[in-house]
Structure 1
Amino acid sequence: MTAQQIGLKDRLWKELALKAELNTDGAAISREALAFIAPGVKTQEQVHTLFEMDFEIHDDELPAYFRLDHGLVVPFRWNPDARHRIVLDGNRTIVVKDDEQLAEAHFPARPAYYGQKTSDGAAMATIGSLGSDRQFFVAYSNECSYKDKGEDCLFCNINFTKDTYGEKSGIFWKTAKQIGETYAEVHRQGLVDHVNITGGVIPERRELEYYLDVADAIRKHSGVEDFNGTAVVAAPIDLRNLDRFREAGYRTVGLNLEFWDKGIYNAICPGKARDSGGWDHWLRAIEYSVGVFGHGNVRSNFVAGTEPKKSLLAGIQHLADKGAVGTASIWCPNPGSDLEGHRAPEPQWYLDLGHRIAAIWKKAGFTWANLYDSNASVDTLQHDIWRIEAETLPIFQRDAVAAE
């Protein structure tokens, strides 16, 4: 490894530490900076179609994400009380903490299709949002059947988000045709390599039929046979239904177990614990899915920060041993959830977790294609760590060209 490569990695590790702080603590933004970047006009705005991930609800149009100086992507989580602030400095937006300038924040341009509509007049931006790495994210509904039973997951605010922002923010049931038309336009514009379809928990038969219809609509409107789709679903009671998702054209599947510790799972996810066969059946469904979709093509996410790290890592390791990719999202005590007002662990806790997960992935033999295809986003700390260690982030290529 050259001195230049060592220096770049050192800078990336520092940038990753800043990203961890911005993820766990959020960031405020000045009125001047917000007006300058003009989310929803010049730059890409948040789309509330699943969860409110900011620390407080808001009326302002806020940005979706930004890049730091070396390219690491930070999801924007608005926290008006955060020590980190994004301020305007001439024609640059700067991340500051206690008036110390830390980095420049680079906000992405608004995708062209965000200003377009489907044939029935729905704003395409509300049908599917665009991730930072060519990933098309569709939340078909905020309908979750656990609400009616009073059994929502305690960390989740999917129903609260719908009640708060409603249809004016694009929270409505998306039809298969709307998704197919929007995907076709995103594909025509050359913006997409992966599709993630998700939503609240709905009855099994209805979920299966809907996902089959969506796959048909994507192929019909785009002409793309292999659209590299991930179906994020509840564990079906009849595990053979997982074969049908594969037959419909989905390349990967996501079954989010949320917690490895059964006691915590039962307490925080009462609906999942009582329906869909409970924790043990969800695990069987994950293992069955590996046999259907193949090694590395099944994902299960954990809400990191509400159970001990040792337990969470035991779950990630178990899944890796079975050929499934375990991921961990940084817990945001979402407004409107039963855990609102709690705190996520310190940034260093998440950095250590990310290093340990990346090591498990490497030992399990997962490829970058596995980690990319099976996930809704590759903006996590563990994905960054993987790419820094493997020297595959775009900055490494640019740095190498500049050195020639």
Structure 2
Amino acid sequence: MAELNTLANRPPSSLALLEEMERQYKDLPMEAIIKQDILRQGIHFRPESFQGVGAYKAKDYFIFSFDHIPLAEMKDGIDTKAPEEIKISGGHFQLLPTVISTRNNPLSPYEMRSKEGKPTLYLGETEIGRAEYPPIPDWYRHRTQSGKLPGEIAPVIEWGYLIYLTVFRNCQYFGKDEECAYCDINHNYRQQKGAGRPYTGVKDVEDILEVLSWINAEDQIAKVYTITGGSVLTNLKKKSEVDFYLQYPEAIERQFPKRWMGKLVAQAFEKEDCQRFKDAGIQIYHPNYEVWDKALFEKICPGKASWIGYDRWIRRVVESAEVFGPEHVIPNFVGGVELSEPYGFKTVAEAIQSTKQGLDFFMSKGIVPRFTAWCPEPYTTLGQQAGPPLVYFCELLRAWKETFELYKLPTPPGYGEPGPGKAVFSVSAFMDVIGYSGRN
């Protein structure tokens, strides 16, 4: 395909494009293809799409904004009414239920409208699927003794499967010379506070334990918790980075031993520090490497490159598998950022070739990387720019699936069931493609 050789042609989303991808990528479920297209384009919610749907869980802005525009520019109450995720089914392609993270974009060709009183997603005049919005957990009715909202302290995502604990909502990689170029964690914190929202910068252990006590007593859907936040370069609350993050799983596992599977998303640590987290009860480790190409890593992740370095980062990821076990090390990369301007590759083929090298490097060792779909958020160093074409994400999913199957690797733990109609991981379709045998 011509699109593999040049980025000059980035066709807008259309029914014709989706049908072309359906013909071209029979090894990928349409649920995955459409999910990636919606993630790259975002959703325009019309005001009527919020009416008559009853109570549902709105976006908690659990770490990044994942929006194409600032909060201050959102109209019609979208900043408070947009759901955390959507689940679409049926429509033109007869989709199985597909969970997709909400990324607000008033310029998106994907519009959420109302049809017969039900939210329905359209591309142009084509119905892509009837939509559901996530239910509000019963325990969201509580307030902590300190007056905090549960969604501020321990929100759930992935249709209630994952408790997301962003315990530090800033990052000490600060400014364009240190911040990861695609990341808006610091900017999102500022805009949330600027909008007058309660948005705790450093979460108190006792607040988290109080919310978890409600989940423990009232909830059977959540199966996993993630502890994450920005990087700590010196100290935070008089603790080193390791000691700061370690206090949370230690407290959680002491009070609720093995109640949920514990994950840690943090920097790449040395083996002895990884062992401390495993001893505390962390089972899954995500030392995200962000982008495989070394030159791009140094441009796109300047702080990580300066403070730790690419070679040391990759070595630590590999060595962490000796502590947690390879299948429990699941580093993330930001799918599509290797095509970002001005530093990225100029063709889809080059980008896929590079990323596939990283997939093969890790998967040959039993480590299974996952990816999130890059969202060009306005306040990041990369800013608002055209994201990758849909063909890139189809090629990426194919490369991921082929490499995963080549090494006969197990389904990554802590992500729920795999496959179309079952996957709940909402910021990419890597779980949706597992086990799919293709179509005629």
TM-score interval (norm. to shorter): 0.7 to 0.9
Identify, as 1 or 2, the structure richer in helix: 1
Whose RCO is larger (CA < 8 A, sep 6+)? 2
Amino acid at match of 1:216: E
Q: Which residue of 1 aligns with 2:144?
A: 118
Q: Distance in 2 between matches of 1:335 and 1:114?
A: 30
Q: Distance in 2 between matches of 1:337 and 1:62?
A: 22
Partner SS for 1:43: coil
Q: Distance in 2 between matches of 1:296 and 1:213?
A: 25
8 A contact 2:352–2:395 mirrored in 1: no
Q: Which residue of 2 aligns with 1:62?
A: 82
More displaced 10-residue stretch of structure 1: 306-315 or 262-271: 306-315
Which of 264, 287, 293 does residue 261 from structure 1 map onto?
A: 293
Determine what percentage of the aligned residue pairs are the same residue.
23
Amino acid at match of 1:347: L
Q: Distance in 1 between matches of 2:148 and 2:435?
A: 37
**TM-superposed deviation, 1:147:** 0.7
8 A contact 1:239–1:285 mirrored in 2: yes
Amino acid at match of 2:372: S
**TM-superposed deviation, 1:68:** 1.3
**TM-superposed deviation, 1:132:** 2.3
8 A contact 1:67–1:105 mirrored in 2: yes
**TM-superposed deviation, 1:168:** 1.7
Q: Which residue of 2 aligns with 1:299?
A: 330
Q: Distance in 2 between matches of 1:146 and 1:377?
A: 31
Amino acid at match of 1:367: P
Amino acid at match of 1:175: D
Q: Distance in 1 between matches of 2:171 and 2:366?
A: 29
Structure 1's 115 and 206: CA in aligned 2 closer, same or farther, altered over 3 A? Answer: farther
Q: Which residue of 2 aligns with 1:175?
A: 204
Partner SS for 1:104: strand
8 A contact 1:49–1:171 mirrored in 2: no
Q: Distance in 1 between matches of 2:292 and 2:87?
A: 32
Q: Which residue of 1 aligns with 2:262?
A: 229
The runs of 5 or more residues in structure 1 that have no matched partner are 1-9, 392-404
| TM-score relative to the length of structure 1 | 0.86
Partner SS for 1:386: coil
Q: Distance in 1 between matches of 2:358 and 2:331?
A: 10
8 A contact 1:47–1:170 mirrored in 2: no
Q: Which residue of 1 aligns with 2:278?
A: 246
Q: Which residue of 2 aligns with 1:395?
A: none
Q: Distance in 2 between matches of 1:384 and 1:285?
A: 29
Which of 155, 168, 177 does residue 141 from structure 1 map onto?
A: 168
Q: Distance in 2 between matches of 1:377 and 1:101?
A: 22
Runs of 4+ residues over 4 Å off in structure 1: none
Residues 341-380 of structure 1 mapped to structure 2, 5 A cutoff: 341-370=384-413, 372=415, 378-379=425-426, 380=428
8 A contact 1:26–1:84 mirrored in 2: yes
Q: Distance in 2 between matches of 1:106 and 1:369?
A: 26
Which of 182, 197, 210 does residue 155 from structure 1 map onto?
A: 182
Structure 1's 15 and 249: CA in aligned 2 closer, same or farther, altered over 3 A? Answer: closer
Is 2:371 aligned against 1:328? yes
- CA deviations 1:186-232 (Å, max 9, x no partner) are 232212111111100013762222232211321344x3335311111
Is 2:241 aligned against 1:207? yes
Structure 1's 153 and 87: CA in aligned 2 closer, same or farther, altered over 3 A? Answer: same
Q: Distance in 2 between matches of 1:183 and 1:384?
A: 29
Structure 1's 369 and 300: CA in aligned 2 closer, same or farther, altered over 3 A? Answer: closer
